[in-house]
Chains A and B, each alone.
Chain A
């Protein structure tokens, strides 16, 4: 009987240790992977935005304001071809921040009957990291009260800022921010 009790106790300790190790490892991994995935998601979205805006003509992006102003949606047209020495632009496109659903949506031919839209990412923060919903530039980047996706013009470049914010199953919040200056090639 005594042997059985000792054996059970040892087994329980072993199992407990294994469980603790597994849990600690799992937590650490999940935390790392969660944050890493969110960063990947931000980078991938930024790559898509950059590639879309690269093929545009800066002069056509007149609605994009210079700092401290910004816009959270951008309408653009990419160069599709050249005819008789003149660039031919394709169907109008739009990248916009859907605040209600915290996502970035790319639209082709926006507003038209055959509008096509694709969600490029979810979990977009309402405000850019460090910015608070009060007057003023809280995060010191020169833009005032910018949203989680913000475009602003800088010389002949467009600066894009993006913050993704997500909470895991244990209630830990992860925030990833990325920004890029894009030169319009046309």
Chain B
């Protein structure tokens, strides 16, 4: 009975304690689990901070990569716009887009926004398009230059006064300095003329020696050959690089005034003109009054004809698109003797038989006599300066031959004109800016995932510049001039032998003209005093 009673008591006691250990265990497990959760959350929080910091840094560097891409774009003559918030450019694990805004002058504000993971960054750079003065090269040829016997080359500055006032007192007919002769290839300077005495100084004084009173720079791999009795007083170091001579499209002549002139010439007042062709006969005189832009396909001046330039009111820019024939005996008159007042663009490149003798004629015949004041830009032509011409100003051509006895005088004031080629843009200011207001920026999610969900594929960075439309004129392998206008990526570059001119078009900004290497030529057509 007693044993039975004890058994029942023990059983009742076990029943009271049943589940206690389970409860204690559960409490322990929960405490441990809670601690684990807290630790996990702390760890996650720390990781999130690290990931955010890393993403922000990557976004900054992606935004900087965008600026670099836009810089290259600007250097190529494009607008600088790359991608958009809707369709950005893909770069690494992130995306970016660049918005370019044209500012006053030649400045462009670029704002590049980079997104990577949850990181966002926007940086801005204000760039200034740089234009190297082409005219500062003086008399320049893309290929070779030959200076004939007895030719004399010097220089002066028209801003300081007339040439006559700057002549050297001893040498008499020359200034004795300031010459600038540059070539992309070789420069050959021949010796004194047959009647020279062979002594350089005496020949200089007598005007019979070949002399360059200043610098003569051959191309980077070119050679300067100089006869013993030829004189070069300045530097002969080779150029570091050869500037490209882009083809130049004339500016739009929105207001085209119908104007014709006969063989006798006439006076054309200031304005903008587009003329098919014209011939000035013997003893005819054509007077052009600036400011003027004249675009003419074919201009021929017979022997004895005269072209008078009146640039007292502004620059005269004459674009001859196909053929310019200045026959021997043609003369020029400059009312104010200012080389910066007349710019002649000889854009013709095709050799065509124009006189019916079955022999192709060159696009440029340059054989005037007397004094010529101005700048000649003939990138596709081989120019010979005749013996009886005194060329005052500057020139850029494919090749240049200075005939024996000819005289060239470089006007260094041309360096301050807008006869320029584009070079690399210059950074004005870099700064961190506020993020733009865009949906993809506000959503703090991985941009690539977000774009994918929206069915958008970001463009490859190299294909993202918006200026995908462009125009080009070029020579193919057979020497034929060809043209193309359309999507840049669709153009077959293998057909191109030489680029004549190229222009980008992003639908908003038209950069014209711009050749393959991003060069361009600007002309001042109205106010020469602004630059």
Interface residues of A, Cβ cutoff 8 Å to B:
18, 22, 29, 33, 36-37, 40, 43-44, 47, 51, 54-55, 78-82, 84-87, 185-186
Contacts and interface: CB of A to CB of B under 8 A. Distances in A.
A79 B429 contact: yes
A186 B50 contact: no
B429 A186 contact: yes
B126 A82 contact: yes
Interface string B378-420: 0000000000000000000000000000000000000000000
Interface in B23-60: 28, 32, 35, 39, 42-43, 46, 49-50, 53, 56-57, 60
A82 B49 contact: no
A33 B42 CA distance: 9
A22 B35 contact: yes
Given A37-B46, A79-B429, A86-B428, 19 more contacts: A33-B46, A43-B53, A44-B53, A47-B53, A47-B56, A47-B57, A51-B60, A54-B432, A55-B431, A79-B431, A82-B103, A82-B107, A85-B107, A85-B128, A87-B126, A87-B428, A87-B429, A185-B125, A186-B431
A186 B43 CA distance: 39
Contacts of A85: 104-105, 107, 128, 428
Contacts of A186: 427, 429-431
Contacts of B28: 18
Contacts, number: 57
A106 B496 CA distance: 58
Interface residues of B, number: 27
Interface of B: 28, 32, 35, 39, 42-43, 46, 49-50, 53, 56-57, 60, 103-105, 107, 109, 125-126, 128, 427-432
Looking at B43, B109, B431, which has the most chain A CB atoms within 10 Å of its CB?
Answer: B431
Contacts of A18: 28, 32
A40 B50 contact: yes
Given A18-B28, A29-B39, A85-B128, A51 B432 contact: yes
Give 5 nearest A-B pairs by CB, closest first: A185-B430, A87-B429, A82-B126, A79-B429, A79-B431
A55 B105 CA distance: 24
Contact of A40 (B32, B35, B46, B432): B46
A29 B104 CA distance: 59
A174 to B, nearest CB: 15
B429 A82 contact: yes
Contacts of A44: 53
Contacts of A81: 429, 431
B431 A78 contact: yes
B39 A82 contact: no
Looking at B35, B50, B427, B430, which has the most chain A CB atoms within 10 Å of its CB?
Answer: B430
A166 to B, nearest CB: 16
A125 to B, nearest CB: 22
B50 A79 contact: no
Looking at A44, A78, A80, A82, which has the most chain B CB atoms within 10 Å of its CB?
Answer: A82
A44 to B, nearest CB: 7
